[in-house]
Amino acid sequence: MQTPENISLNAVRVFVMTAEAGSISMAAARLGVTPGAVSRQIQNLETSLGVSLFHRTNNALRLTPAGDRFFQESQPGLSALNRAISSVVSGDQALTVSVPLTLATRWLIPRLQDFRRRRPRIDASIETFGGSGIPSVTRADITIAYRPITAEDDGGIVLLEDLCRPYVSPRLLSEIDDPIDLTRIPALQASAGNWDWKAWLSATHRSDLELRYTGRFDLDEIALRAAVSGAGMALASPFLVQDDVDAGLLCPLPNEAGAVLGHYILRAGKPVTGASEAFVNWIRAVPVQSRSQS
């Protein structure tokens, strides 16, 4: 095992981004490199540390206990380093926004260029995290977090309403007999205890229906990709899948109603800077049809 000063900082950055993304291919896309380059950096880091950082089984990637400890210790340090670099380069105009990965990929990033065009002196960087709730460790200026409809209202600004309905690939839909029997369509899992499917069934007055759950994904993004491949149906709000629908990759399951399962909540950290205030004002002014679906 090498001494800490000999560990590659770039390899640590790649590891943290891969752990946050939960996927080598997604981390590679964010870094603008090949998946092979990401794998080599992680392998070199594991060799340097003398421990395995990830379990790799059936194309799934999850942290080992040692990997989880290393992530919890290294991620805040890298975030602080990134902020320090931004503050030196951009002065008070640096801005960090922490966002769930699926929302960042499918909703925020496609709109972010408008903010940069309007406020070119603000250097906005995006941190992503998986799952719902607020990340356990973050010093972001702005946080957008998911709050299930069943959770206690703990403040913040409601940014987006999560009005969910099932989506499937057109190919899978063509193979489903009419009338559609939900119990015969694989329901892709992307939440703890399938609370989202249960909440949707309850809202549509079918709590006694027993769905055929399949797969288990820790990110909505991965479940949606599985749905595109024809693996089953996934719950999503229209604003997260509109590009896939327009491209003919997904379609809503016919005659199935949507149900509000939660909200995306916007919070500004303290102290509020001019950059964070500008971002909050901008994102709240995004046209209603882009922020909320009825």
Q: Is there a common fold for 88-160+262-291 and 161-260?
A: yes
User: What DSSP designation does 131 have?
Assistant: S
d(CA 45, CA 187): 37
- Distance set, CA 134 to CA 117, 216, 233, 236 (Å): 29, 21, 27, 20
CB-based contact 139:76 (threshold 8 Å): yes
CA dihedral 138, 143, 148, 154 (to 10 degrees): 90
> Degrees (nearest 5) of the Cα angle 258, 264, 268?
165
d(CA 282, CA 203): 33
pLDDT digit string (tens) for 100-140?
999 999 999 989 999 999 998 898 999 998 765 555 556 78
- As a whole number, mean pLDDT of residues 281-286 equals 90
**More confident call, 178 vs 84:** 178
pLDDT digit string (tens) for 4-57?
667 888 899 999 989 988 888 888 887 878 888 999 999 999 998 999 999 887
Candidates 157, 113, 137; CA nearest to 277 is 157
| Residue 294: band (very low, low, confident or very high) from pLDDT cuts 50, 70, 90 | very low
pLDDT digit string (tens) for 68-83?
999 999 988 888 887 7
All structural domains of the chain with their residue ranges: 4-63, 88-160+262-291, 161-260
For the structural domain made of 4-63, what CATH number should be given?
A: 1.10.10.10
Candidates 232, 172, 235, 225; CA nearest to 198 is 235
d(CA 41, CA 24): 11
pLDDT attached to residue 2? 56
Q: Which fold has domain 88-160+262-291?
A: D-Maltodextrin-Binding Protein; domain 2 (3.40.190)
d(CA 290, CA 94): 26
| Residue 291: band (very low, low, confident or very high) from pLDDT cuts 50, 70, 90 | very low
CB-based contact 160:294 (threshold 8 Å): no
Q: Which CATH architecture has domain 161-260?
A: 3-Layer(aba) Sandwich (3.40)
pLDDT attached to residue 32? 78
| Residue 283: band (very low, low, confident or very high) from pLDDT cuts 50, 70, 90 | very high
pLDDT digit string (tens) for 204-239?
999 999 999 998 888 899 999 999 999 999 999 999
- As a whole number, mean pLDDT of residues 190-209 equals 92
Candidates 215, 177, 175, 170; CA nearest to 197 is 215
| Residue 161: band (very low, low, confident or very high) from pLDDT cuts 50, 70, 90 | very high
d(CA 130, CA 63): 13
Tell if the pTM clears 0.85, that is, is over it.
no
pLDDT attached to residue 59? 65
In the chain, % of residues over pLDDT 70: 89
pLDDT digit string (tens) for 105-116?
999 998 999 999
pLDDT digit string (tens) for 45-69?
999 899 999 988 766 788 999 999 9
**Taking 50 as the threshold, does the pLDDT of residue 289 lie above it?**
no
| Residue 269: band (very low, low, confident or very high) from pLDDT cuts 50, 70, 90 | confident
pLDDT digit string (tens) for 145-154?
999 998 888 8
CB-based contact 60:25 (threshold 8 Å): no
CB-based contact 45:12 (threshold 8 Å): yes
What's the chain's Rg over C-alpha atoms?
A: 20
- As a whole number, mean pLDDT of residues 166-172 equals 96
